């Protein structure tokens, strides 16, 4: 559980003095760091620094390291470790990370825009104070980890690990190689760098975006697999009369590949179906080479290269307009999904792609049909909201089983 507390000063040199808390450098750089990713990156020093990080994408990434040794005379004192690190907050607070101390889970945390992030459990507490915000609005600062006394191995190095959960997005935790983090006065840096003012500006901008996008309620994506646009390559003679929300490209009157590439860019920007109508000579010889160049360009865009027949595409468009998605909360931790609006016995070779809004603080979800048959699904974060996306045939039903943080 995350809670916000009042300001904290992180300062003072590491030492163990009678009657005082014991504070230590949270990383012993003489020992190896095991991380899913590493390279030079920004840090709280505002400079490129050797860095080690994990993403909250598939639940398989982590960063693991050791602290300096905790002397035996620290027993009985409050022991804290100070760590220079960063939180990738550019995707909002939709990514979840778990903190482990000597193998025991201490806390889970995400990446909200706070001047002080606190996570705690019976195994200890974590406090993160950002002191630098980069151009991507990612946060860099000092993390203080205070474990429960029973977890500490006195006279030895301690092992800390941060794991990314399977959230489907690239929020990250990053360890930065910087000396003596326990001597950094984080509160003073926050004040001098006006971190509070910067965070207020980011939060205000995000609130305005959420207000403008509050109408985003589509349950059926405009194009299969949540693509931005669709492109059909058809031969001359295709009837485009009566079609809505389409762009037409004809190489007889427009240049290939440059004009075709521009038409594809326009379709992606507007979310339309681009129909490219080619006479037979464009499928062989020198003109086919131009078409191949254009096809290579299409593959770089987030669009569907629609190989289905035009009649099938038209049928899909009609299904989108006809289908209605019903979402029911049947029991705690489960949503029941059904697609309605089709007559009994309706059959389609093309499934619809559904995009279902998940409850707040939901990090993991699975989709099942026929009660127990799991089907492929992926996460999508759109305008700060978290969805699960999957394909379902018209008339079918599914259950989404999810877990809250």
Per residue in 285-335, pLDDT (tens digit) is 888 998 999 988 888 887 888 877 777 777 787 787 778 888 888 788 899
Q: Do 232 and 273 form a contact (C-beta atoms < 8 A)? A: yes
Q: Confidence class of residue 210 from pLDDT cuts 50, 70 and 90?
A: very low
Annotation: CATH topology of 321-404: Immunoglobulin-like (2.60.40)
SS3 208: helix
pLDDT of 337 above 80: yes
Beta 37-41 vs 49-55: how paired, if at all? Answer: antiparallel
Domain ranges of the chain: 2-210, 229-301, 321-404
Is pTM beyond 0.75? Reply is no
pLDDT of 94 above 60: yes
Predicted local distance difference test score (pLDDT) of residue 400: 94
Measured CA to CA, the distance from residue 338 to residue 319 in angstroms comes to: 14
SS3 357: strand
Predicted local distance difference test score (pLDDT) of residue 18: 43
The total of other beta-carbon atoms located within 10 Å of residue 234's CB is 16
Terminal-to-terminal C-alpha distance of the chain: 8
Task: Give the H or E element holding residue 22.
Answer: strand 22-25
Helices (H), 166-257: 186-192, 195-212
Measured CA to CA, the distance from residue 107 to residue 189 in angstroms comes to: 26
Predicted local distance difference test score (pLDDT) of residue 211: 43
Per residue in 155-179, pLDDT (tens digit) is 999 999 999 988 777 789 999 999 9
Task: Give the H or E element holding residue 239.
Answer: none
Query: What single-letter DSSP state applies at residue 356?
Result: E
Chain centroid offset of residue 261 CA: 29
């Amino acid at each position: 559980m995350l809670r916000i507390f009042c300001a904290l000063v992180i300062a003072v040199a590491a030492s163990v003095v009678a009657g005082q808390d014991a504070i230590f450098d949270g990383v012993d750089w003489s020992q190896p760091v095991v991380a899913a990713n590493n390279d030079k990156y920004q840090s709280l020093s505002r400079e490129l620094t050797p860095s080690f990080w994990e993403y909250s994408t598939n639940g398989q990434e982590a960063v693991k390291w050791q602290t300096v040794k905790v002397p035996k005379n620290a027993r009985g004192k409050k022991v804290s470790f100070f760590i220079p690190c960063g939180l990738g907050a550019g995707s909002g607070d939709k990514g979840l990370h778990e903190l482990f101390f000597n193998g025991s889970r201490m806390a889970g945390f995400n990446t909200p825009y706070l001047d002080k992030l606190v996570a705690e459990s019976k195994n200890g507490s974590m406090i993160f104070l950002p002191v630098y915000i980069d151009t991507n609005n990612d946060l860099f600062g000092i993390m203080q980890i205070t474990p429960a006394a029973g977890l500490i191995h006195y006279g030895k190095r301690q092992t800390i690990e941060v794991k990314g959960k399977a959230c489907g997005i690239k929020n990250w935790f990053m360890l930065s190689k910087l000396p003596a983090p326990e001597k950094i006065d984080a509160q003073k840096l926050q004040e001098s760098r006006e971190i509070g003012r910067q965070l207020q500006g980011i939060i205000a901008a995000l609130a305005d975006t959420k207000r403008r996008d509050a109408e985003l309620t589509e349950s059926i994506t405009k194009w299969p697999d949540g693509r931005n646009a669709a492109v059909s390559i058809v031969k001359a003679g295709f009837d485009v009369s009566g079609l809505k929300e389409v762009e037409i490209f004809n190489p007889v009157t427009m240049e290939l590949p440059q004009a075709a590439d521009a038409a594809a860019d326009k379709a992606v920007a507007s979310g339309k179906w681009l129909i490219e109508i080619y006479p037979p000579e464009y499928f062989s010889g020198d003109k086919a080479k131009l078409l191949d160049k254009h096809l290579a360009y299409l593959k770089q865009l987030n669009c569907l290269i629609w190989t289905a027949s035009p009649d099938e595409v038209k049928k899909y468009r009609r299904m989108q307009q006809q289908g209605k998605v019903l979402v029911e909360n049947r029991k705690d931790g489960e949503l029941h999904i059904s697609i309605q609006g089709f007559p009994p016995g309706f059959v389609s070779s093309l499934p619809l792609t559904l995009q279902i809004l998940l409850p707040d603080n939901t990090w993991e979800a699975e989709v099942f049909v026929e009660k127990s048959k799991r089907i492929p699904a992926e996460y999508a974060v759109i305008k700060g909201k978290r969805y699960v996306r999957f394909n379902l045939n018209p008339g079918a039903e599914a259950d989404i089983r999810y877990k809250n943080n």
